[in-house]
Chains A and B, each alone.
Chain A
């Protein structure tokens, strides 16, 4: 009897723990709450970030020495296919959709997304797509086709295993999820804003998510159609990209880049939105030129639909086409420049604080500027003729995707983490994270520009001893190794702060948008009462009833 009594308390917590774990899993699998789904998107994206990062490290180690034999050409080609695919489709887009999912309904004063079940569908289908793409390893090796999957590499003749089919199928499936998310964002933002929040008063991140969604709706289906054509070619003997029977390898490039170029704007517009919310809050000023910023967002979304063939200057298009696409690509720099100057004008004369979100925003501003400038260089067709498919290009797009999208997304994660968890992240660890990433990033991708100038082509698994590329490649690999622990600092900070973090309160940053009126973390219904909005800074109006914004807007 005594033994039983002694054992009972010991066994109770264990069973309670497993019960709480299973109920947690059950609640995640069955949830339709936009906040939980948003967090699941973010966690999934970070897992894929780690996987894609490990793939990059393996490739960097292979390139450490000339004629080095670490993983060899086959594995190298598979890894660069999977690295690109993972980072674009399963890291970049999901993390932005995740943050959008979490923040947008809160920021516009809604209780959930427009279609909660479609939202859950979108997440699970994206995850399924990622698993399908990685399932290609089970066919004896991932596809060795690059994330751009140029024809005729994807034809049966050149890619005989089913790996390419799994890759294409996975992207079709996850593309469906992405379109579902875009439909949801569009309906939510256009029909569920709080009373009084006209389209001219939406928080800026919400505005950019709207345009990102429009872009997704316009460019994701052409990629899906192209992938279906690849699948038909491979499995039913169709001839879309079969050059032996009149098909065109060039047509795939058009289809792919018609998606591929707007895709990079899909990856950067939401980040522009995060910057446009974070910079004002940490400069203690309103966003400078809201209308111009809003118009610039729409302009980027439109212009970016007509620039895709600047990826194809060296395939031999007509001179007219070269001129058109060079001019349209240069045109993008105008609205982007407007944004930059407006951010600077927002900070000008402001009381700037360097809390972690603003630190990463500075990382974004300084690095994305450089990436934008090398972009302008590459948009000029004659310059591109010299450096297309060189490491200069690899340096350029990593500079915008990491210096832009990743730094900006980290700024957003540091900004909204207290809202989602009710705890503050450690600023000390955030600084370690930032500086290691900043320096490691510059060391990784800066030398790529130089090895590109020295003639190193992209997508090669090794190089000759006498080319003079060793030093720059070693510097790149060293930079990659320096970056690596920064992600560990971030992951450690995110996990440990859940317990150890300082309680955040509702509004730790003294911000102005509606999400900061809710408790942290917000209840499942978000708002007890749907708020009414009269200006772009509804929370400012609540805090300062004597001097509300609506008097001036």
Chain B
């Protein structure tokens, strides 16, 4: 073992004195780090998951044997408002990341809190929408195919928003409790990527469920 270790360590010195070919220098590679690749890989699998749910929504659109239909029950103004909240939260989290890079901790925390708040407003909007659908229109997951696919798709998205909010609260808690340096940019960046992804999924869901498929 020591022999091989010696070999390995002496690897770069073979040239020169012994007349052996001199190995070329190694150029450093510029790429993402493990955490970033990990998050991207995870988001790839998430994209595949949501693609499946969206496909199932489209495949079953208009195949119902019983009402109500999307046109009859989906309220556009409400969803427009919640969509704006979510898109705005993508802006605020971007701002938060930028402020963190500029070492402005206070403003970072403010933007971070705003993002969390906008996410919570989005969830409250979804909760209100679901209450309306269930109580006023009796649309449940077992009512018809539309209910089945709608609650599955929107529900899984809402679950992802909830997880995002939990991550933001957790990270803020760790930072305020001084368990994590407020200058730690990596987790903030990863949560931000996740949040942008969840936002992007919502734009697809919004377009397909509320605009095209209505």
Instruction: Flag whether B80 is at the interface (Cβ < 8 A).
Output: no
Query: A213-B41, A216-B45, A225-B49 are known contacts; what are 13 more A-B pairs with Cβ within 8 Å?
Result: A183-B42, A191-B34, A191-B36, A217-B41, A221-B46, A221-B49, A222-B52, A225-B52, A239-B145, A517-B4, A542-B7, A548-B21, A548-B23
Q: Which residues of B are found within 8 Å of A224, using beta-carbon distances?
A: 49
Return the 10 tightest CB-CB contacts between A and B, nearest first. A237-B142, A221-B49, A114-B34, A225-B52, A196-B26, A187-B37, A187-B38, A238-B148, A186-B41, A222-B52
Q: How far is the CB of B68 from chain A (nearest CB, A)?
A: 14
* B48 and A222 within 8 A (CB): yes
* Closest Cβ–Cβ distance, residue B20 to chain A (whole Å): 5
Tell me which residues across on chain B come within 8 A of A548, comparing CB atoms: 21, 23
Would you call B44 and A218 a contact (CB within 8 A)?
yes
Is the Cβ of B141 less than 8 Å from the Cβ of A237? yes
CB distance from A544 to the nearest CB of B (A): 10
Q: Do the beta carbons of A531 and B34 come within 8 Å of each other?
A: no
Task: Determine, out of B57-65, B90-98, B111-119, B127-135, the stretch whose residues face the partner at the interface.
Answer: B57-65
Q: Within the complex, what minimum Cβ distance (angstroms) separates B19 from chain A?
A: 9
Q: Within the complex, what minimum Cβ distance (angstroms) separates A487 from chain B?
A: 34
| Contact status B38-A246, CB under 8 Å | no
- Complex Cα–Cα for A114 and B59 (A): 39
Q: In the complex, A187→B28 CA distance in Å? A: 18
Query: Which residue of chain A lies nearest to B45 when distances are taken between CB atoms in the complex?
Result: A217
Contact assessment for B148 and A529 in the assembled complex, using a CB-CB cutoff below 8 Å: no
B189 contacts A by Cβ under 8 Å: no
Chain A binder among B9-17, B163-171, B178-186, B192-200: B9-17
Taking residues whose C-beta sits less than 8 angstroms from the other chain, chain B's interface range is 35 or more
Interface-centre pick from B4, B18, B29 (highest chain A CB count, 10 A)? B4
Known interface pairs A182-B45, A188-B34, A551-B21; A195-B152 also in contact (CB < 8 Å): no
As a 0/1 sequence over residues 181 to 198 of chain A, the CB contacts with chain B under 8 angstroms (1 = contact) are: 011101110111001101
Interface segment, A81-89, A247-255, A270-278, A494-502? A247-255
Q: Is B83 an interface residue (CB 8 A)?
A: no
Contacting residues, chain B, for A213 (C-beta < 8 A): 41
List 10 contacting pairs A-B, 8 Å CB cutoff, sorted by A. Answer: A186-B38, A221-B45, A221-B46, A236-B142, A238-B142, A240-B148, A246-B65, A533-B26, A545-B20, A548-B21
Q: How does the 8 Å CB contact mask read for A252-271 relative to B, with 1 for contact and 0 for none?
A: 00010000000000000000
Q: Does A229 contact B (CB under 8 A)?
A: yes
Q: Is A528 an interface residue (CB 8 A)?
A: yes
Is A245's beta carbon under 8 Å from chain B? yes
Taken residue by residue from 307 to 320, chain A's Cβ proximity to chain B (1 for < 8 Å, 0 otherwise) reads as: 00000000000000
B14-A545 in contact (CB<8A): yes
Q: Which residues of A contact B65 (CB under 8 A)?
A: 245-246
B contact set with A: CB distance below 8 Å: 1, 4-5, 7-9, 11-12, 14, 18, 20-21, 23-24, 26, 28-29, 31-38, 41-42, 44-46, 48-49, 51-53, 56, 59-60, 63-66, 141-142, 144-145, 148-149, 152
**What's the minimum C-beta distance from A324 to chain B, rounded to whole angstroms?**
17
Contact partners of B31 in chain A: CB under 8 A: 190-191
Q: A255 near B52 (CB under 8 angstroms)?
A: yes
Q: Is B52 a contact partner of A532 (Cβ separation < 8 A)?
A: no
B9: chain A residues at CB < 8 Å are 529
> Which B residues touch A534, using CB under 8 A?
23-24, 26
Contact assessment for A225 and B53 in the assembled complex, using a CB-CB cutoff below 8 Å? yes
- Tell me the minimal C-beta distance from B115 to chain A in angstroms: 25
Contact status B152-A528, CB under 8 Å = no
Bound CA–CA A518/B60 (angstroms) = 56
Query: In the complex, how many angstroms separate the beta carbon of A224 from the nearest chain B beta carbon?
Result: 7
Asked if residues B24 and A191 are in contact (CB atoms below 8 Å), the reply is: no
Say yes or no: A195 contacts B28, CB within 8 Å: yes
Q: Whole-angstrom distance from the CB of B8 to the nearest CB of chain A?
A: 5
In angstroms, how far is the closest chain A Cβ from the Cβ of B13?
Answer: 10
Q: Is the CB of B4 within 8 A of A245?
A: no
Number of inter-chain CB pairs below 8 Å: 147
Query: A532 contacts B59, CB within 8 Å?
Result: no
Q: Which of B7, B33, B145 contacts A191 (CB 8 A)?
A: B33
Interface centre among B42, B52, B56 (most CB of A within 10 A): B52
Chain B residues, Cβ within 8 Å of A184:
38
**Which residues of A does B touch, CB under 8 Å?**
114-115, 118, 179, 182-184, 186-188, 190-192, 195-196, 198, 213-214, 216-222, 224-226, 228-229, 232, 236-240, 245-248, 251, 255, 506, 517-519, 527-529, 531-534, 541-542, 545-546, 548, 550-551
Q: Are B64 and A532 in contact (CB under 8 A)?
A: no
Q: Please tell me if the beta carbons of A248 and B60 are within 8 angstroms of each other in the complex.
A: yes
Chain B residues within 8 Å of A541, by CB = 11, 23
Residues A226 and B38 in contact, CB atoms below 8 Å apart: no
Give A225 to B157 CA distance when docked, in angstroms.
13
Is A529 a contact partner of B44 (Cβ separation < 8 A)?
no
Q: Contact between A232 and B148 (Cβ–Cβ < 8 Å)?
A: yes
| Most chain B CB neighbours (cut-off 10 Å) among A182, A541, A545 | A545
What residues of chain A lie closer than 8 Å to B11, measured between beta carbons? 531-532, 541-542
A529 to B48 CA separation, bound complex (whole angstroms): 39
Are the C-beta atoms of A550 and B41 separated by less than 8 Å? Answer: no
Given contacts A517-B8, A542-B11, contact A217 B148 (CB under 8 A): no
**In the complex, which residues of chain A have a beta carbon less than 8 angstroms from the beta carbon of B26?**
195-196, 532-534
State the CA gap A198–B31 with chains docked (Å): 11
> Residue A232 contacts which of B42, B63, B152 (CB distance < 8 angstroms)?
B152
The answer to whether B34 touches A115, judged by C-beta atoms less than 8 angstroms apart, is yes
Query: Would A550 and B45 count as touching, CB distance under 8 A?
Result: no
Q: Which of B9, B12, B29 has the most CB of A within 10 A?
A: B29
CB neighbours of A191 from chain B (8 A): 31-34, 36-37
Contact of B145 among A219, A245, A517, A546 (CB under 8 A): A245
Give Cα A82 to B14, complex, Å: 58
From A214, A222, A245, A519, give the contact of B49 (CB < 8 A). A222
Q: How far is the CB of B158 from chain A (nearest CB, A)?
A: 15
Which residues of B lie under 8 Å from residue A238 when comparing CB positions? 141-142, 148, 152
Query: Shortest CB–CB separation between residue B157 and chain A, in angstroms?
Result: 13
Complex Cα distance A229/B31, Å? 38
